Amino acid sequence: MKVANLVILLGLATVVASGCAYLLFSWNEDRLPPNATAIPYLFTVSDALGVDAGTDIFRLGKLMPGTSSHRTLLVTDPLSMSIGAPHTVRVWVRGEGSEWLTVSPSEGLTPVDVLVTLTVPQGAAHGEYRGEIVVEQLSVK
């Protein structure tokens, strides 16, 4: 009887541990909603100012602590769905230095010009900062 209880208890513990492991390893904060796309961004904090005109990612240039930079992102059809139909989209940022970035408007009807503003605080650590500007399609009008 004691052996049977031990086997049942071990089996139950295995099921619980497997479930916890699945939840732990399947949860991924980097996962985007299925109706969203991410645009990589890059900026550098250093002792000099610099412009980066590359077009491979959304580049905000080289800034010194205490300075700001602005770029405009034209959002037309983020997911190539219903081409020509206006979409309501939400835009946000995530990644390194994302707390220094603002987007305005953060929600709008396409096509929409989104102003991305980077304000590097005094005392910010020098280095490259990378992240993503996320455009989520909310609806088709």
| pLDDT at residue 19, as a whole number | 45
pLDDT beyond 80 at 5 = no
Written as one string, the DSSP assignment of 38-94 is EEEEEEEESSS-B-----SSEEEEEE-TT-EEEEEEEES-TT--STTS-EEEEEEEE
Count Cβ atoms within 10 A of the Cβ of residue 57 and give its class: 0-12 exposed, 13-18 middle, 19 or more buried: middle
Task: Please state, in angstroms and rounded to a whole number, the distance separating the CA atoms of residues 95 and 4.
Answer: 51
Res. 98: pLDDT tops 60: yes
Tens digit of each residue's pLDDT (9 = 90 or more) over 37-87: 899 999 999 998 887 776 788 999 999 999 999 999 998 876 655 556 788
Total-model pTM:
0.71
Class of 32-140 in CATH? mainly beta
Task: Decide if pLDDT at 114 tops 70.
Answer: yes
